[in-house]
Structure 1
């Protein structure tokens, strides 16, 4: 792979009198969709960004050539974005993608969120300014970008829901709400589409660049504002709704001061619910990607079980619209736990033993080589997968209920239906406890709901 990259870099570095060599090739961790490879060319660092397969990229509204072109335009317009230096050709033998200069800093959430409140507020202002600059990009000549109309987007989500079985009541609840709360049309701007902690490079507490532009489109700038405020992208900083850094009001003021439009709370709430439904369905689609062979990575099936996170978040977003009596109704009684076995080890116990072995033996082996960053991350994913299976064997309630989902979509049942909110709360707690018990919002929701 290094030899193939050298050909690409020498093509891009036409002015060099002495071609350099590629070294230090390293697969980076993370990235639910694209692959990222860090390498050196001479004394400079670069990142290869490429699609996992041609079949996968063919399903995307924006191809990688369009993504590279948009990043170039953003970089030229003064947006903190990477400098794209080369695009891959079929004859390069490296797949589909492009090479960009490596930005300083890290995309690790701890690099962004592990600061005192004053530095966090400064970083939030950096993000607000970057969003405002992206939304101010000239849309002329950007006809290759897909356009997201709210009504069309909601119906697209509804079709995706139906294709996934149409049987998750909490997603149906969100879709029904979206259909009732469509915002008026907004002047289209360039929307990054994945502007959140984890896709933002941070260096010494300041924003150094915005990466991962694969979901960019033309639409409502409030979508970017809302997306980074989703609970999942706060990485445990539940009290700081805006990117885990500050409050929404402060973010909105900074965005407006940087040239962004005036904040509209109704549009913000619509997009917050929309993107929560969108990501719930996106998680479900990961499992289908694995089944179809488009991407057989272990991460796909594990992310597929993160749908329960978004279902919990949806209910927390929408339950305020239920009557007070329903919000105060206690949870239904939980089933009694199964008695512990004193006989042969159960399947769940065997999985626990395998996970502990991986943690002690394999982790120790990987720790000896500092370059195995991706492998250590995949080990964590594998242990997570074993835990999911272990908890399912111990007793996971089925989150599917097609009849209830149909009723919610049709409006035959709502949050005013006696006992429905309590039932949905219990379902959300049960499913998420089995699938992703460490999700930070789970403990907060349990504390809130179980006190009634």
Structure 2
């Protein structure tokens, strides 16, 4: 992993080149967020003005082998530029550092003020107004993301519904640990697969935790490393998965909103018109995926590949996803 001493000089050199010889690098600190990449916050001061910035960097500056579905930092930077051009609220990228450079594989973007912690966004009084606007804001953001031309989004993996069933069933079977609810979900998804929608740019992890929210609503969409070409309903449904409602289960959309409002905002911003019932299949897929991911994280803890308490704790949440799946199956047909 990188240290402040490793990156301070190349960051200061960049600041001088970008802001002028008098620019000063201050308040450099490593942030706790970011499971697969380093995230650093820092400010550049020039003539009394301060510019808040974020460095997103490969661990140690050199990218190791990554999961096949995770895009490179360079591709993330391309996606931020392309979606920003499409009026999606994203941080502006100021610099992309290539592999092998003094700073290492990384990019620098403006720091957007706001909160990312789901529980605070759903609970704290300062976000009362934001919660009334967030459903609409998310619908508009998703419509604009899905409208970005694939030719401008960089090299991306392709993953539709059938691809994801095959992938996660293979992972599940590798554990040789039968879980009847998950097996029921795999069977139901195969038997009830909808006709695929026209493939679009999909964010892949659009949910509270990856959204900056300020007092007025959505401030920015973050964490594009799981972006891919896929079905637009995947993004809509992932925001609805109960795990990302942080206890506010009565609100299907992220714990803060209702699905008809989200779909209306999505269509009004140029997205396809979907009925709430068309999201059911993908929400079941999302809960199943997260259940298998939780199994994977516990596997990493058990084998010692990642002995952190966080991995063990997340691994225990498989049972929560099983309950969510049962509730989803019982609710089928209730959504108009």
Q: Which residue of 1 aligns with 2:25?
A: 22
Ranges in structure 2 where 5+ consecutive residues have no aligned partner: none
Q: Which moved more, 1:313-322 or 1:201-210?
A: 313-322
**Inter-partner Cα distance in structure 1 for 2:12 and 2:311:** 31
Structure 1 residues 192-225: Cα deviation after superposition (integer angstroms, max 9, x where no partner): 1111111111111311100011111111111111
**Inter-partner Cα distance in structure 1 for 2:92 and 2:300:** 31
Q: Which moved more, 1:238-247 or 1:136-145?
A: 136-145
Q: What is the CA distance between 1:228 and its match in structure 2?
A: 0.7
Q: What is the CA distance between 1:289 and its match in structure 2?
A: 3.9
Q: Secondary structure at the match of 1:57?
A: coil
Structure 1 residues 396-451: Cα deviation after superposition (integer angstroms, max 9, x where no partner): xxxxxxxxxxxxxxxxxxxxxxxxxxxxxxxxxxxxxxxxxxxxxxxxxxxxxxxx
Q: Secondary structure at the match of 1:65?
A: helix
Given that 1:55 and 1:294 are in contact with CA atoms closer than 8 Å, whether structure 2 keeps it comes out as no
Q: Which has the higher strand share?
A: 2
Q: Which has the higher helix share?
A: 1
**Inter-partner Cα distance in structure 1 for 2:307 and 2:37:** 13
Q: What is the CA distance between 1:303 and its match in structure 2?
A: 1.9
**Inter-partner Cα distance in structure 1 for 2:78 and 2:211:** 19
Q: What is the CA distance between 1:132 and its match in structure 2?
A: 1.0
Q: Secondary structure at the match of 1:140?
A: helix
Q: Which residue of 2 aligns with 1:216?
A: 227
Q: Which residue of 2 aligns with 1:150?
A: 161
Ranges in structure 1 where 5+ consecutive residues have no aligned partner: 323-452
**Inter-partner Cα distance in structure 1 for 2:237 and 2:116:** 20
**Inter-partner Cα distance in structure 1 for 2:117 and 2:177:** 35
Q: What is the CA distance between 1:24 and its match in structure 2?
A: 2.0
- The alignment yields a C-alpha RMSD, in angstroms, of 2.6
Q: Which residue of 1 aligns with 2:10?
A: 7
Is 1:44 aligned to residue 51 of structure 2? Answer: yes
Is 1:199 aligned to residue 201 of structure 2? Answer: no
Given that 1:47 and 1:99 are in contact with CA atoms closer than 8 Å, whether structure 2 keeps it comes out as yes
- Count of aligned pairs between the two proteins: 322
Distance 1:288 1:52, change over 3 A: farther
Q: Which residue of 2 aligns with 1:250?
A: 261
Distance 1:315 1:63, change over 3 A: same
TM-score scaled by structure 2? Answer: 0.85
Q: Identify which of 104, 115, 122 aligns with 2:113.
A: 104
Describe how 1:44-193 pairs up with structure 2 within 5 A.
44-52=51-59, 54-55=63-64, 57-92=66-101, 96-114=105-123, 119-142=130-153, 144-193=155-204
Distance 1:321 1:127, change over 3 A: closer
TM-score scaled by structure 1? Answer: 0.65
Q: Which residue of 2 aligns with 1:274?
A: 285
Q: Name which one, 1 or 2, has greater alpha-carbon Rg.
A: 1
Structure 1 residues 275-296: Cα deviation after superposition (integer angstroms, max 9, x where no partner): 1111111122223444666655
Q: Which residue of 2 aligns with 1:238?
A: 249
Q: What is the CA distance between 1:13 and its match in structure 2?
A: 5.7
Given that 2:16 and 2:23 are in contact with CA atoms closer than 8 Å, whether structure 1 keeps it comes out as no
Distance 1:301 1:123, change over 3 A: same
Q: What is the CA distance between 1:51 and its match in structure 2?
A: 4.3
**Inter-partner Cα distance in structure 1 for 2:26 and 2:287:** 41
Q: What is the CA distance between 1:8 and its match in structure 2?
A: 3.8
Structure 1 residues 372-400: Cα deviation after superposition (integer angstroms, max 9, x where no partner): xxxxxxxxxxxxxxxxxxxxxxxxxxxxx
Structure 1 residues 45-104: Cα deviation after superposition (integer angstroms, max 9, x where no partner): 222223458445254442222122111211222210111223344445666432221111
Q: Which moved more, 1:141-150 or 1:74-83?
A: 141-150
**Inter-partner Cα distance in structure 1 for 2:265 and 2:85:** 23
Distance 1:321 1:126, change over 3 A: closer
Given that 1:56 and 1:295 are in contact with CA atoms closer than 8 Å, whether structure 2 keeps it comes out as no
Distance 1:200 1:176, change over 3 A: same
**Inter-partner Cα distance in structure 2 for 1:89 and 1:251:** 38
**Inter-partner Cα distance in structure 2 for 1:277 and 1:226:** 12
